[in-house]
């Protein structure tokens, strides 16, 4: 992504976490990384444990980014947008829910699981946590294309309200296949 | 296992209450509301699924949940009276 | 807005018609398309649904593509609606078009049909929302940009908003925007587990309302800059005057009591349109028929309009809640309201609820110049647009 006005950046892969160029100390691998980071850097939001892996990844990445930003937290604002992109949408949650309903003999659709079969729930979770009342969106594209991301983000700033966006690529296909590259971009 | 202890375990499991163990849950403490565990409407729906899955009890009106899920005591009482398995 | 954004084409397929004219006819007659399920293979027949009255093989015939039972119903609905939109905009032979489509089901209707034993790689590859939009684009062959919005029930309206933003920022001149969604067992069961489905036809804003009916369909509009429309002598249907998206930041599925997200989204749209609330003659509400939405949306409407409420109606008792496609289908109904100067009746309403607006059922109304259209999605994703008569 063209970093023209990116003020902070975090990448999370199955093996490492890097915030503004500095790697964080992590001992776990795969999705256990999320809970390790949660325990170390957050640990005050029990709703975290209800989230699916796409939400956990987005939530943790954003938490670390916002902590690095160092501004006052949890004050209601309308001028920060949250816009994520990926290819697989909420595929992992879809599979989990489907396994709940594919067997006639054991047919108990879980409402909590169903909620996460929408990729934009992660933007909702971040907005709830941080009291962000601005624009939120989730875009699904076949292939990661930096031009497409940039075009859409440029568009987000055309309302007369948005001054910053938490945005980037948020992919979590399974417990062992995920990656996040999230930025805070300012106008 | 006593029904109340069993229920507590299932509640913790079904609602992903990671930081809570069975001994943390008091029998007559409110489950919902400000003094409760911070549960919400989705949690109430999950408890409805829990009742059907484990005890064969079907609840068709989500508003009934308010009374049934007041506390572990009230829940256990309801299960005793209405369980089909 | 810095640029005027005009609507120059539209196409829709829903439970009340397979094209714009049929949909308009049903709205005028007050005829609902919600009934017992026919095409979706489900055991939950107790929930009436708003199905499009075409089977998959009938749609393939209309689209002139071979039927193999592997085609996603979501794609087929989308192709039909985009086809009508391109035709109505005079763009059938134009190259280098852009498409933004909102969907959540995508190819789910196929994956669940063949899951797990007959799930071949080609079915699985077509599951994701993004590939569905690509397939719709590929069917026409004249799109070189296609992307997908997936924000639950506000997806289609957000596709319109993102499209407008791309025109505003100079990325594109013309974009086809909207959404498509087919019914699936997956989300029928999901909504059932949330206990918000009604076993009768839904009654938005009624004191006895008991939930929503799921529906399916597709709606697409062509939006373009005024320069582009003038350059090619396009026939203008209406103007997209204002847009707003805001987050309720309250709960994943329920709306906040004071309807904060909805209030902010509507306020943003009105500010962008640079009009007064008294300039809005009709609101096509999200109005799903759930106790929660209708009360919270009403609160938000009353906060926005105060004592100057315009006519309000929901059209979800005609089509069902078409989820990801609802925003664009209802935007088209808003355009029809402007074109034909009528307000769709909120059929089935009979008992006033103190916590809700009184929707339009019968009665006179004046000239309709500006219509607001709302779509609110899970995740607190709330959107609102204002569509206006052009050239007045």
Q: What is the pLDDT of residue A26?
A: 92
Closest Cα in chain B to A39: B19
- pLDDT band for A104, please (50, 70, 90 cuts): confident
- What CATH number corresponds to the domain at position A56? 3.40.47.10
B15 interface with A at CB cutoff 8 Å: yes
Distance CA C59, CA C73 (A): 9
Which of A104, A140, A157 has the most C C-beta neighbours within 10 Å, making it the best mutation to test the interface with C?
A140
Three-state secondary structure along chain C? CCCCEEEEEEEEEECCECCHHHHHHHHHHCCCCCECCCCCCCCCCCCCEECCCCCHHHHHHHHCCCCCCCCCHHHHHHHHHHHHHHHHHCCCCCCCEEEEEECCCCCHHHHHHHCCCCCCHHHHHCCCHHHHHHHHHHHHCCEEEEEEECCHHHHHHHHHHHHHHHHHCCCCCEEEEEEEECCCHHHHHHHHHCCCECCCCCCCCCCCCCCECEECEEEEEEEEEHHHHHHCCCCCCEEEEEEEEEECCCCCCCCCCCCHHHHHHHHHHHHHHCCCHHHCCEEECCCCCCHHHHHHHHHHHHHHHCCCCCEEECCHHHHCECHHHHHHHHHHHHHHHHHHCCCCCCCCCCCCCCCCCCCCCCCCCCCCCEEEEEEEECCCEEEEEEEECCCC
Look at residue A20 and tell me if it is in a domain: yes
Q: What is the pLDDT of residue B70?
A: 92
CB contact at 8 A, A55 and A180: no
Closest Cα in chain B to A110: B46
B42 interface with A at CB cutoff 8 Å: yes
Under an 8 A CB cutoff, do A112 and B52 touch?
no
pLDDT more than 70, % of chain A: 98
Q: What is the pLDDT of residue C339?
A: 97
Task: Give the C-side interface with B, CB within 8 Å.
Answer: 193-195, 251-254
Under an 8 A CB cutoff, do A46 and B19 touch?
yes
Closest Cα in chain A to B52: A108
Look at residue A44 and tell me if it is in a domain: yes
- pLDDT band for A1, please (50, 70, 90 cuts): very low
Look at residue A135 and tell me if it is in a domain: yes
User: A127-136, B60-69, C59-68, C133-142: lowest mean pLDDT where?
Assistant: B60-69
- pLDDT band for B1, please (50, 70, 90 cuts): low
Say how many domains are in chain A: 1
The values of phi and psi at residue B15, to 5°, are: -100, 10
In this prediction the pTM is 0.94
Under an 8 A CB cutoff, do A152 and C147 touch?
yes
Chain mean pLDDT for chain C? 95
> In CATH terms, is domain C1-392 a member of 3.40.50.11540?
no
| Structural tokens at position C40 | 């979706």
In chain B, % helix, strand, coil (3-state, to 5) comes to: 55, 0, 45
Under an 8 A CB cutoff, do C150 and A98 touch?
no
Q: What is the pLDDT of residue C233?
A: 96
Contacts of C254 in chain B (CB under 8 A): 40-41
Chain segment C13-40, per-residue pLDDT in tens: 999 999 999 999 999 999 999 999 999 9
User: A50-54, A118-122, B30-34, C349-353: lowest mean pLDDT where?
Assistant: B30-34
Look at residue A56 and tell me if it is in a domain: yes
Name the residue facing C253 among B42, B48, B49 (closest C-beta): B42
Compute the average pLDDT of residues C144-150: 95
Q: What is the pLDDT of residue C250?
A: 93
Q: What is the pLDDT of residue B34?
A: 73
CA B42, B44, B50 angle in degrees (round to 5)?
Answer: 105
CA neighbor of C264 nearest in space, from A78, A168, A144, A14: A78
Residues in chain A: 187
Look at residue A119 and tell me if it is in a domain: yes
Tell me how close the Cα of C124 comes to any Cα of chain B, in angstroms: 29
Look at residue A71 and tell me if it is in a domain: yes
- pLDDT band for A98, please (50, 70, 90 cuts): confident
Name the residue facing B52 among A46, A108, A111 (closest C-beta): A108
Q: What is the pLDDT of residue B38?
A: 78
C127 interface with A at CB cutoff 8 Å: yes
Chain segment C185-212, per-residue pLDDT in tens: 999 999 999 999 999 999 999 999 999 9
Chain segment C250-282, per-residue pLDDT in tens: 999 999 999 999 999 999 999 999 999 999 999
| Domain with A132 in it | 6-186
Q: What is the pLDDT of residue B69?
A: 94
In the predicted structure, residue A4 carries a pLDDT above the cut 70 = no
Chain mean pLDDT for chain A? 93
Q: How many other CB atoms are there within 10 angstroms of residue A144's CB atom?
A: 15
Distance CA C205, CA C346 (A): 9
Q: What is the pLDDT of residue A8?
A: 97
């Amino acid at each position: 992504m063209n970093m023209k006005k990116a003020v902070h950046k975090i990448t999370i892969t199955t093996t490492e976490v890097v915030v503004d160029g500095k790697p964080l100390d992590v001992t776990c691998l795969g999705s256990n990384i999320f809970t390790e980071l949660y325990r170390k850097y957050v640990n005050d939001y029990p709703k975290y444990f209800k989230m699916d892996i796409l939400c956990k990844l987005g939530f943790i990445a954003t938490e670390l980014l916002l902590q690095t930003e160092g501004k006052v937290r949890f004050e209601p604002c309308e001028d920060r947008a949250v816009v994520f992109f990926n290819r697989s949408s909420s595929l992992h949650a879809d599979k989990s829910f489907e396994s709940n309903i594919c067997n006639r003999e054991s047919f108990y659709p879980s409402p909590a699981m169903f909620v996460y079969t929408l990729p934009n729930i992660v933007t909702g979770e971040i907005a709830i946590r941080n009291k962000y009342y601005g624009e939120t969106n989730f875009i699904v594209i076949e292939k990661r294309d930096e031009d497409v991301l940039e075009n859409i983000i440029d568009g987000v700033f055309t309302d007369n309200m948005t001054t910053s966006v938490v945005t980037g690529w948020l992919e979590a296909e399974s417990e062992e296949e995920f990656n996040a590259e999230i930025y805070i971009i300012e106008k | 296992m006593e029904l109340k202890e069993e229920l507590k375990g299932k509640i913790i499991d079904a609602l992903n209450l990671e930081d809570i163990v069975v001994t943390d849950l008091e029998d007559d403490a409110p489950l919902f509301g400000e003094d409760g565990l911070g549960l919400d409407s989705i949690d109430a729906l999950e408890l409805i699924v829990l009742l059907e899955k484990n005890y064969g009890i079907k609840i068709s009106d989500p508003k009934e949940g308010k009374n049934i899920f007041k506390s572990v005591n009230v829940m256990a009482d309801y299960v005793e009276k209405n369980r089909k398995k | 807005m810095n640029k005027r954004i005009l609507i120059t084409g539209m196409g829709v397929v829903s439970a009340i018609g397979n094209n714009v004219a049929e949909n308009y006819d049903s709205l005028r007659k007050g005829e609902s398309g919600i009934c017992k399920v026919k095409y979706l293979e489900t055991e939950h027949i107790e929930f009436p649904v708003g199905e499009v009255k075409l089977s998959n093989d009938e749609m393939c015939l209309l689209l002139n593509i071979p039927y193999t039972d592997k085609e996603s119903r979501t794609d087929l609905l989308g192709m039909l609606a985009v086809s009508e939109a391109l035709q109505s905009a005079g763009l059938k032979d134009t190259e280098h078009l852009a498409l933004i489509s909102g969907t959540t089901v995508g190819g789910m209707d196929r994956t669940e049909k063949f899951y797990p034993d007959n799930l071949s790689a080609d079915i699985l590859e077509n599951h994701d929302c993004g590939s569905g939009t690509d397939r719709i684009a590929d069917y026409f062959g004249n799109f070189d940009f296609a992307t997908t919005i997936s924000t639950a029930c506000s997806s289609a309206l957000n596709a319109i908003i993102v499209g407008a933003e791309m025109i505003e920022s100079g990325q594109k001149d013309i974009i086809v925007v909207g959404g498509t969604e087919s019914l699936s067992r997956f989300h029928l069961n999901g909504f059932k587990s949330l206990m918000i489905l009604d076993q009768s036809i839904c009654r938005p804003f009624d004191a006895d309302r008991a939930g929503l009916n799921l529906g399916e369909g597709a709606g697409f509009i062509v939006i373009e800059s005024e320069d582009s429309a003038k350059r090619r002598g396009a026939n203008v249907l209406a103007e997209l005057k204002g847009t707003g998206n805001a987050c309720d930041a309250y709960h994943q599925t329920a709306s906040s009591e004071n309807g904060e997200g909805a209030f902010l989204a509507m306020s943003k749209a009105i500010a962008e349109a640079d009009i007064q609330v008294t300039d809005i003659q009709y609101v096509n509400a999200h109005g799903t028929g759930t106790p929660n939405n209708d009360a919270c949306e009403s609160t938000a409407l009353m906060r926005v309009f105060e004592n100057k409420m315009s006519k309000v109606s929901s059209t979800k008792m005609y089509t069902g809640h078409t989820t990801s496609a609802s925003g664009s289908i209802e935007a088209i109904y808003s355009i029809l309201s402007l074109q034909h100067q009528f307000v769709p009746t909120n059929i089935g309403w009979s008992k006033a609820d103190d916590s809700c607006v009184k929707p339009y059922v019968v009665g006179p109304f004046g000239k309709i110049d500006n219509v607001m259209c709302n779509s609110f999605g899970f995740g607190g994703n709330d959107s609102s647009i204002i569509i206006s008569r052009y050239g007045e």
